[in-house]
A and B are shown apart, each in its own frame.
Chain A
């Protein structure tokens, strides 16, 4: 009964739906004058982040995101670019994680992270209407109205309100911020409409610039739909010296946790040295977007099965 062929046969509808989401997303970006780009999947130096593991492929790493290469295109003068393609994060498997997944990532030069909120809102609503004929989603027993006003909650306020904790204080000890976030903050975020958590402690803005009014906060927001973290957006850090310092700090954290060392992304830093315009960028889990639109419980339900 559960032969591999049967498992695939049962997925034909979901995979067909997925293809329609893909076309709809591309259409929206194309109509918004974005250029679709393709950057290498195998890279010499991945975007070194503290807790993301890139699988090795010979002399290369499989990318965990296309961030560094897309930013090099920004530095080279491209203005509105997007990409949809496979990314890899070793050891991540769960209802909302796959070690190989599809990322939808886009950058806009001359825009702020708040401009990207408007863009994301328009994109998500339009795709939902094209696919489902309405902005209403049914996900894990909840009804989400994408057309309702999106709730915007500063991170500090959310932690205070839902957990009675200081986000800045929790950020000082490894893993505590994340623990309170998943156990006590995320479950309490509004689920009848999309919700945006905004302005993270600067420690959680790997590639984000600091807010001008308050440099202890990063220009970063995360979109939650139905309680699921769907996309991450930064006002991009354009200062190569600060970026170098962060890579250095990440490397220290990785060393302390006995994680693999990554080579310095020289080409990326050189591009930044020559100048990067003010920009904002977003990364969205494409599998999660399909899952939410389809009303599926897990991203596994809307993806080709990972053979084990």
Chain B
């Protein structure tokens, strides 16, 4: 258990059987009374958020979380199968849990699996992946590489991304998987 005084931004705690991460934290002490710890919490499984205030006497659960290295293997219906880098055990995670990350899965890429009570609840992808642009309008003549103007483009799986005007079909680009945004051009098509 954590005591309320341990709480801080980024700490992972357990409430009513769910793991939460503290996304915002403030100390307050109303009217000379006891200290209070006001937290904004994000459910690490569902992504839903809530506010919760703790008193100094409150004890807060410590979630059983474990990180393991895993390779992405293949898609199986609505599930995505990852294999444990040490044991090769195949473990599924649902498309719903992965959200937009399903667009950035690359076979045999090394990822980080997050387990809560032994169950896979989240995957952290490699920060950058490379993808080929399959669809975009040609940039207008006279645009330069330094321009900040962006245009829409698509990658092979249909994911839409904003890219600089100088990017063409066939170019390979780097995508930041944390934000889903274009990072840089790797090579020209």
Residues of A that sit less than 8 Å from B by CB: 49-52, 89, 91-97, 174-179, 181-183, 186, 200, 204, 206, 222, 229, 232, 257
Contact = CB atoms under 8 A, between A and B. Distances in A.
Q: Which 5 A-B pairs have the closest CB atoms?
A: A94-B27, A178-B33, A175-B55, A175-B34, A94-B26
Contacts of B26: 94-96
B28 interface: yes
B34 A204 contact: no
A175 B28 contact: no
B31 to A, nearest CB: 6
A222 B31 contact: yes
B38 A175 contact: no
19 contacts: A49-B32, A89-B29, A91-B35, A92-B27, A94-B28, A95-B26, A96-B28, A174-B34, A178-B33, A178-B55, A179-B36, A179-B53, A182-B30, A182-B38, A183-B53, A186-B30, A204-B33, A229-B30, A257-B56
B31 A92 contact: no
Contacts, number: 67
B27 A178 contact: no
Interface of B: 26-36, 38, 51, 53, 55-57
Contacts of B30: 178, 181-182, 186, 229
A200 B28 contact: no
Contacts of B51: 183
A175 B54 CA distance: 9
A51 B33 contact: yes
A232 B57 contact: no
Contact of A97 (B28, B31, B56): B28
B26 to A, nearest CB: 5
A177 B26 CA distance: 18
A232 B34 contact: no
A42 B64 CA distance: 46
B7 to A, nearest CB: 12
